[in-house]
Structures are given as C-alpha cells and as structure tokens.
A and B are shown apart, each in its own frame.
Chain A
C-alpha cells in the first residue's frame, strides 16, 4: 500500500478538473472494491477524490417514462426503490444478489460499474498478470480459471466482470452519462465495458478524469416481466459462476420481444444478441429457448476448468426464460 491524498469533491466540475490534473489519481465512491485493491497493492492511486457525496443521489422518473439513477445512489437504495422494483425487477433482483447487505449499503451505482474484473492472479502482486502489468503474461489460462471467462476472452486475459447490477443494466439497454474534461457524453452500457483484447488493463472505455454522473434506463414496456437468476458456489455472498438477466414479451405464446444478458462469463456484462435474434418470433417453448442459448454459446471458448459454464449457462438461460414465460401465461 502506498500513501495517498484524499480530497472531497465539492461539485462534479471541480472533481473532474482535480482528477484531470492528477494522472495517478482515482475517484472514490463506496470504496468497496478500490480500497480492497489498494490494500493488496493492486491499485496505487496517489490521490482519491471522493465523489460519493456529490448530489447524484436521486432516482428520477424521466419524461419519456425512463428512469435516471444518480451515480451516487447506493446499491441498497436502488434495490429498494419502488419504481425499480415494479418496472425493472431484473435490476432490483440483480442488486440484491450481489455482495452483502453491508457492502450494498456503501457501494454506489457508478462505483459498481467500475469494479475491476476478477481473477486470483490479478489480485496477487507477486504473480504475473497482463491486466496489472501489461506484457507480464497470463497465468490463469494454464492455472486456476474455474470461475473465469468462456466468452470474448483473449490470449492476454480471461478475467470476468463481477457486477450483477451491470448485467441487468446491459439487458435493459441502459445508458451511462459521463462528465469529463471535454464535457458530457452518453455511452451505451453495452459499450461501456471492454473485452480484454490486447489491452486487458482497460476495463472500460472511460478516459482518465471522466466521471459517471448517472445511469439512464430507457422505458421498457415489458420490463415488469423480467428476472435475474444468479448461479454460484454458495447460496449467498459469492460471485456468479453464471447469471442471466432476462425480460420477455410474449404474444400468443410467441416471443414478441426479449432482452437477455449473461454475467460471470466474460470480461464484460454479456448481452446475448444472437440468442435474442433467434428468440424473436419463435414459439415460447423449451426447445426455442434451448436453441437460442446454444446459438449464443456457440461462440464460447471454454478451458478445462470452466467448461461446465457452457451447459450451466445454457440450462440457466432456458430455465429463466421458461419461468418468465410461465408467469406471462
């Protein structure tokens, strides 16, 4: 651990300006991931700009029927929000399946998105890791990778993104609103996180100094018929081996529309567009759901220890869609 300065931001503008002038600084939200990584020596910021108290702590319904979630809204508050629970239950369920009550009380919406990907070698500074030390190598591929990625990985990195919330947001076509030194911009959630490629050190497309101010949820007419299913090694307080965020719209037992995203399988929340394509217009049967899951997972490149994730993801997709279809009937 290295010494660092701590500053509490007064407003977004000064926070962005401060960090823009501090190339080794970082924003601090709830600190539930960053501070852990600092204690491990994995993150070594010399300045923390605390943005958790900025006035982005509201959940507002927008004119178009969508919802704007402030970046500083705590995970526990977001999960308990009535609008979220009724219009986007997938998001509330995803939040409640993550971490623990204590962590959710601290973790912020913006910070949740910015969790670093997980891998035991990334978290151990005595070991090589292309994410932590670009070019040093990836021991996970030949080593311990039971919980790591089956989709979209690269030779450089097979880490997985740990967020449950982000998987639901990926399914919901959320948009991340960002304020940076060059002004504001909006980034689709599905474009926000990166696949590792040859630059696994970059988890997201954010530039240094860019601050998340809000996450927008567009209206989704069938959002109420959505669910999050998380499969893990114990009943609570564990990262997903596989998770499924789904929303399903049926008309006469035919899939009119669907949103599907997977967690625990890739370097980013994995929007299952191929599966969605297979599903639209298909009968709402176990066979269609299975075909869709298989279409998505055809691109999987599992390794020895995580090969089980392919059938696990398939079965979990099918079960989640069957349950939603059952409820729609």
Chain B
C-alpha cells in the first residue's frame, strides 16, 4: 500500500473554485459555433407502432433545419443495446420512446416545431404492471455485475419447516428515478477526423465505443469530452438514446448539434430503478441463531433489453445460516429498460433483508444489534472464502455506543411520546462489494519536476479530481502542488466508468502503477535525474488476483431516530448515524460527503421517492420534481458520519474500499425499523408516507 502523506487528509476540492465561479463547463455549456438544437418527440403510447407522421407543419416553420423520423433518419449499425437504435423502425416499445426529432436554429423553434409533429399510432394492449403471479416471469441467465441468478445451500425448506421461530414476509419497493442535478445533454460536432461529443456521462470510453459502433467508425475517430458532470447515480453510466440522436442530428444538419433533455424527458429516456417484490423467509433457533434464509425477488425489465438488478445478492453473504436460497425472476414489461441506480441490488435488497432481520430479532426477543452480531459469519457463506476484512460487528458496536443504543427502550411505542410526536429508533446494516476493474493511466514529468497524470476517469461530483490528485502525489512521492491530473476525456488512457464504487479503486491502482513505473524509469534509466525533455510511463491495472482468495466487501451500521406526528403521520428523521468500515478513506472531506450523500439518498428513498405508474396509459405519471419528491434540506436533520480504522492490504494499493454507494444501503431499513419502534406499524412497502401511518 502507498504511504499516506496526502491521502486520508480532508483536502478541499481542487475543482471547487472553478465550480462556484461557473468556470467549470458542463456538457450543455460549451460555446460551439453554428450550433443547431434538437428537441425530441416522444411516443404517447406504450406499445404498438407509428402508423404515420405528419411533419409538414414542423418542416415549414422558419428556423427548422430538419425533422427526423424513422422514415427519414439515417440508418445506423446494430447496437449492443436495442434502445440505442433510435428512429430505426416504426416499433414503439415504451411510452416516451423517441419517435421523431426536430433540428432547428434555436431551442425555442425546436421546441415549437416538436409540438407541430403529428404522430398517429397503431396501438396494441400494453402490459406494464409488475406482479408476482405474472405468467411471463422468467429466470435471467445472470444478474447485473455478472452474479449468479439463483443460489442454493443446504435445504432451506426443511429448515423452515423444522424451525422454532420463522418469519415470512414480502417487502416491496417502487420505481425510482435517478434524477441527478444536471440533466443529460450532448453536443455533437462532426469533422473530417470523426465526431467530437461534449457529453454528460460517467465514463467517456463507453460512450465512445457505442457511438463508434452505431456509426460504423473506428473508436479513435470518436472523442467524448466530459471533465465536469453534475451527478449521475447510474443514469449516466451507459449510453442512452439521446446521445445517438445528437450525433445523428449533427450528421443530418451538417453542423454541430445540441440535445439537452428536459427533466420530464429524463423519466423515460435515461433509465430508472426497477420496482421489486421481495419475499423474505427466515428460520431461527430459540437462541437467535439463523438456520435458514430465503430471499426471492421479482422485478422487471423491458421487452427490448434485459436488465436484471442483483437485489438478493447481499443476502448471500451478510449473515451465517446453514441453509439458504436466493433467486431473481424478471417480468418483461412495456416500459423503458431499467438501469443501475446508486447501489443497484444492495439498495432495495438491504431494505428488505434488514427489515426482516429487525422483525426476526423481535420474534427472537433479542436486541437487533445483538441479533446481527450473533449471526456474524466467520467466512463468506456464499463462496466459503475468508473475508479480506469485515467490520460489520465493529461498526454495530461503535454505532451503538455513539448513538446511545444501550438506553433504548426495546418495546415499541410505550407512550414514548414527546408532545405531538411518537419517538423511535432503529438500526440496519450496510454493505457494498469491494471490486475493481481494468484501467490504464499515464504519468508524465517535465524537466522542472511538474507531474501530470492522464486517465479517462470521471468526476460526477464525487471528488475524483481531488482524490486522484492525492493518490498520484503519494504514489509519485512528491508534494501535491507538483501534480496535476487530466480526466474526463476519451482521448486519455482508457479507464472504467465511475460506477460500482470501483472508480477510485480501479483508477487509483492504474495511477499507482504508472507512478511506480515512472519512478523506476527515473531511477534505473536516468539515475534519478529528470531528463531534459521529461519522461513518461504507462501504468495498467488488471483484475485483482486477490479477489479469488478473499471475499471483499465494505460494511457499515446505520442508526436512525424518527419522530412520527401522532395526528398526521408525518415522519421526521432528526438524527441519523452511519459508521462505516471502508478501508482507508482517500479524502476525509469528499469521502464524508459521499457517505453523507448516500445516507441522504437513503432517507429520501425511505420517506419520499416513488415514481407513480399509470397502468392505463402505461407511463410514469409523476415525471417532474414537483411530483417526484426527493428529500429537501428541511427533511434532513443531523447526519453523523464516521469510519473505523481498517487496514485491508488485499484490495488495492490505496487500501481504499469504494464509498460511492454503501452510504445508501440500509438507511431505508434503519428508518423503517425506527418507525416501527415509534408506532408499532411495520412499513413493508416503501416509501413511508404519512397516509400509511395515519390513525383513521
């Protein structure tokens, strides 16, 4: 592991001043000359085909450059994701699908002309509601991130039948939309060399590859530039249809084109999290030792592409039990394809598992902290591998100490009423896998001893600019002021997306390798002196060989205090505490922000977030931020974040576990458990809205 000189310190964001002064440009803000503007026309049916498009009025409007439809749009090559085949056929697979687009001189004309495009449809009956008894449920070959769809250990059915104490309940989570602050936008400009994109994404190389494939270009002829990105939460991890359309529009117009999605359009076009129906069955002995865990998940994908959220995966290794089964089944619905959203799998899965653990603790007459500690596994129950490090028990104990858990009245609602409020507290565990992906990097030094590290890493607001500079400085063993990084550009060495909490682990490992090689070259080839025209070295990081020997995860424990209004059922969360075991935290300030932001998003999931599906029209009826509620500042009380010391030499040279997602896992369960403690009402269907708690 690299020595911590710069890392672990709470360095201010080096891009902070650029952002607060507006100098950091986001995709839609690049000044490009002779720019045309694109506005999309979206399907108003959920299934069928476009029978006719009358674009005469739109084309006749002054300032309209072109109207693209499936009849007029240029043909593109096959894409890996069928959703990217924009305007290639008359088929409509979901409400909100792009069925036409206007290219115009100004955004206003584009918007006006889009309203003049008359589309007639041949509508077919649609199927949009997720149900456990859907006859079309099927078993996907694998689930997201390459995990097995189902697992089985021992004989859980026999264990359940024989158990002294059992628990069998279904938990549901609704549709969620990622809703990053910056709406998705792409500016595409063709030249003799190929096409250049300014694009809001979580990884330029992936966008580059998809665009190259769609337009039959060598990947080197596509350049994607994305140094500053205003959040993604997964919705910017992969290429979405508007990117392809922007490139197409620029080609047709023969000039640069900009496509900036509206917030409303984002609800159909950039993914969302699948709703889940999760049946949890637990069996235990009277002493609280689990004997069986069964976690069966029903969720959805679209008819055009498969995305299978790995919802039951954390249940495979959280707690010891000799008998265990997990499974995922999918319904193909006439809706957009779901995608990853912050902690896919762990977020909905840990809500259900950690709610069930709370219910089971009560049935076993055990404190929920003690119940979890009692079922701590010695090795990974799924793989049998030892843990590279596992801090769950330490987090539970430290959290309990800080939160004042000992003084907790174990019974629900024993007139623990402060004025108009019922008061309760709850706990839940957090987890997220610790992984990394292949990455490259280039380290360079000039004659004056100024270092530059180049890598196509992404900063989606997470602090990469700062954290990666710190890593580079320590890996090069030079002061921070000597190091500058370049990121967010597909012309830089290839690197994986900011996703799966693997960014810093993957990029940092490649940066450390490049730094090591540069130092070696300097020492071995130049006797330690920097040559007159500088020196550079390529670094590379592959998959972690230690991943075959160890089970690697980050852990945490979250504690919540909730107040429930006795008259109205309104829920407030005055206090959240999260204790995490995440290895070394590269930047104590941005790291804290990541965990705090995750917990805030978990609070938002617990209390507010839900995209309402209208089954009649087959669309998301709540498709703006007035109707789709995310937590506002007033919803957030005190959130305390801390981490325990954890040395894990097996994960990467920084000893750092990914922290982008773990903060969000378990929060909703901690809050739901606290609501039960306060009111005696167990909410098994998120969000916890006041109507579910109201005394009628």
Contact = CB atoms under 8 A, between A and B. Distances in A.
Contacts of A308: 690-691, 694, 696
Contacts of A40: 264
A253 B626 CA distance: 42
Contacts of A139: 614, 616-617
Interface string B626-656: 1101011111000000000000000000000
A144 B614 contact: yes
Contacts of B631: 234
Contacts of B264: 40
A315 to B, nearest CB: 4
B2 interface: no
Given A142-B616, A144-B614, A235-B572, A1 B690 contact: no
A236 interface: yes
B567 interface: yes
A238 B567 contact: no
B695 A236 contact: no
A231 interface: yes
B616 A312 contact: no
A233 B569 CA distance: 10
B420 interface: yes
B144 interface: no
Given A143-B616, A239-B626, A233 B608 contact: yes
Contacts, number: 84
Identify whether the interface residues of B are mostly helix, strand, loop, or mixed.
loop
A241 B693 CA distance: 14
Size category of the binding interface on chain A: 20 to 34
A315 B690 contact: no
B383 to A, nearest CB: 41
Contact of A241 (B617, B633, B690): B690
B115 A143 contact: no
A120 B632 contact: no
A126 B694 contact: no
A236 B636 CA distance: 11
Interface in B256-270: 264
**Chain B interface category by residue count:** 35 or more
Contacts of B695: 311, 315
Nearest to B693: A308
Nearest to B636: A235
A312 B691 contact: yes
A142 B608 CA distance: 23
Contacts of B448: none
A311 B690 contact: no
A239 B111 CA distance: 28
A120 B567 contact: no
B124 to A, nearest CB: 18
A21 interface: no
A315 B567 contact: yes
A3 interface: yes
Nearest to A123: B624
Contacts of B607: 234
A234 B634 contact: yes
B633 A144 contact: no
Nearest to A128: B617
A14 to B, nearest CB: 28
B568 A231 contact: yes
B691 to A, nearest CB: 4
Contacts of A143: 614, 616-617, 621
A45 to B, nearest CB: 14
Interface string A231-266: 101111111010000000000000000000000000
A120 B623 CA distance: 9
A274 interface: no
13 contacts: A1-B112, A40-B264, A120-B627, A123-B624, A126-B44, A234-B608, A235-B572, A236-B632, A236-B635, A312-B568, A312-B691, A315-B568, A315-B694
Interface of A: 1-3, 40-41, 120-121, 123-124, 126-127, 139, 142-144, 146, 231, 233-239, 241, 308, 311-312, 315-316, 318-319
Given A308-B694, A312-B568, 20 more contacts: A1-B111, A1-B112, A1-B115, A123-B624, A124-B623, A139-B616, A143-B614, A143-B621, A144-B621, A231-B568, A233-B608, A234-B629, A234-B634, A234-B635, A235-B635, A236-B632, A237-B634, A308-B696, A318-B567, A319-B567
Interface of B: 42, 44, 108, 111-112, 115, 264, 420, 567-570, 572, 607-608, 612, 614, 616-617, 621-624, 626-627, 629, 631-635, 689-691, 694-696
